[in-house]
Amino acid sequence: MEHLTPKESMEFLRQNPDAVFVDCRSEMEYLFVGHPVGSIWIPWNDGPNWDVNPEFVGHVRKAASQNRPVVLICRSGKRSVDAGVELEKHGFSKVYNVLHGFEGDLDDTHKRSTKNGWRFEGLPWEQC
């Protein structure tokens, strides 16, 4: 798995139009916090118990096939690493993680989107 900053990820997606951009956060995060433009939602884990989605690999395989690059994003870049490791275990060889995720790391006041991340970098996103 390769790790790309948000800006590097955006450039990678521009240069690789066949890549699949997967937002692996929960449904509530995807819908209410917002999500990167062009991403598809396939949760790695979701409420109410935050169990790992047993269909994750199958849904990604259906969306991407194993030959297309898969770019993963979550809130802060941690769940997407776990999801990427699982994809690699199942034969995906072109997996990329967006460092700092959509909302970025917590600042000193425990707020996100103030230090780094997709939104902080001003990259395109939308809210449902």
Give the global pTM.
0.96
Is the distance from CB of 43 to CB of 54 less than 8 angstroms?
A: no
> What is the total count of domains within the chain?
1
Q: What is the CATH number of the domain that holds 93?
A: 3.40.250.10
SS3 56: helix
Q: Tell me the C-alpha to C-alpha distance, in Å, between residue 116 and each of 60, 86, 104, 111.
A: 27, 26, 5, 11
Asked whether the predicted pLDDT for residue 73 surpasses 90, the reply is: yes
pLDDT tier for residue 71 given thresholds of 50, 70 and 90: very high
Give residue 54's pLDDT: 96
Q: What is the pLDDT of residues 8-57, one digit of tens each?
A: 999 999 999 999 999 999 999 999 999 999 999 999 998 889 999 999 99
Q: What is the pLDDT of residues 110-120, one digit of tens each?
A: 999 999 999 99
Asked whether the predicted pLDDT for residue 128 surpasses 90, the reply is: no
Residues 6+ apart with CB under 8 A from 7: 121, 123
**C-alpha to C-alpha distance for 99 and 5, rounded to whole angstroms:** 5
Asked whether the predicted pLDDT for residue 66 surpasses 80, the reply is: no
Of 7, 6, 91, 84, the closest CA to residue 44 belongs to 84
Of 127, 121, 106, the closest CA to residue 10 belongs to 121
Tell me what the pLDDT averaged over the chain comes to. 96
Residues 70-88 have a mean pLDDT of 97
| Domain span at 116 | 2-126
**C-alpha to C-alpha distance for 88 and 102, rounded to whole angstroms:** 22
